[in-house]
Amino acid sequence: MELQRLLSYTRKAVDDYHLIEQNDKIAVGISGGKDSLTLLYALHGLKRFYPNSFDLIAVTVDLGFEGTNYEMIRDLCAKLEIPYHVIRTNIAQIVFEDRKEDNPCSLCAKMRKGALNEAVKGLGCNKVAYAHHKDDVVETMLLSLIFEGRFHTFLPSTYLDRTELYVIRPLLYVEEADIIGFMHKMDLPVVKNPCPADGYTKREYAKELLRSMNRDHPGTKERMFTAIQNQLFEQGSV
């Protein structure tokens, strides 16, 4: 995927759901994966011409796995002239050693988001950008249907009462396959996920299920996404 196409998708989501307002200070949550690094490029590019002026910082929550190195991401942020902050935590020890969670993903995600939101609030941000893309939206809906019995997924924008932060998702219209193409084209400095549970989650199950359905019935993912837009995004809850 070309940068121009990425910017087009990003601007459409930002415009459709009013994700960026004048003088916003937005923190980009950087996990080190392809999605968050693509989001960093997208918002950096959008900042150059978007009519609403906004500031960007990048923030990584270090879970505390031994040997994780973010220096290449620091170099990328320096190249893009975006301030970069690494928040050190002991989340990995709590989840895998102290608590010995059988299903660690939920607790880990909750603690990681809490640490990120607290950090960006302290850095003076009013919004934090997550790198959820179109596939994530549909996969989350499938997970909700299968394991919770409800039609639900995350919204383009969510207000967090406790921290008074808005969570925005500017990659909403971007497909994972396009992000993979962008990663290779731009040679993004992806940091390998050190989590021992990586690749063995319910989300991986939903990803494979969606891939299978879309292969057997082309266009399934797009129709599901349209249904989500019609039922959730356009109900005034954004």
The per-residue DSSP string of 165-178 comes to EEEE-TTTT--HHH
Task: Report which DSSP code applies to 238.
Answer: -
pLDDT band at 104 (very low <50, low <70, confident <90, very high): confident
Tokens read off for 134: 């179109």
CB atoms within 10 A of CB 232: 18
The owner of tokens 């925005």 is: 168
Which contacts of 100-103 are long-range, i.e. CB under 8 A and separated by 24 or more positions?
Answer: none
| Mean pLDDT for the chain overall | 92
The one-letter code for the residue type at 221 is K
CATH class entry, domain 3-233: alpha beta
- Backbone CA torsion sign across 74, 160, 11, 187: positive
238, pLDDT greater than 60: no
pLDDT band at 200 (very low <50, low <70, confident <90, very high): low
Residue with the larger pLDDT of the pair 72 and 194:
72
Q: What does the pLDDT look like over 54-71, one tens digit per residue?
A: 999 999 999 888 888 999
pTM above 0.85, yes or no: yes
CB atoms within 10 A of CB 60: 24
Please give the Cα distance from 94 to 194 (Å, whole number): 15
Say what the pLDDT of residue 151 is. Answer: 92
Span 120-138, average pLDDT: 96
85, pLDDT greater than 80: yes
pLDDT band at 236 (very low <50, low <70, confident <90, very high): very low
Span 92-112, average pLDDT: 81
Residue 62 vs residues 35, 92, 118: alpha-carbon distances, Å: 17, 9, 14
* C-alpha R_g of the chain: 17
Span 204-230, average pLDDT: 94
Q: Select from 105, 113, 97 the least CA-distant residue to 193.
A: 105
Spatial CB neighbours of 64, under 8 Å, sequence gap ≥ 6: 88, 89, 90, 91, 92, 93
- Backbone CA torsion sign across 77, 60, 165, 5: positive
199, pLDDT greater than 80: no
Are the C-beta atoms of residues 1 and 182 closer than 8 Å to each other?
yes
The one-letter code for the residue type at 193 is N
Q: Select from 103, 107, 175 the least CA-distant residue to 137.
A: 175
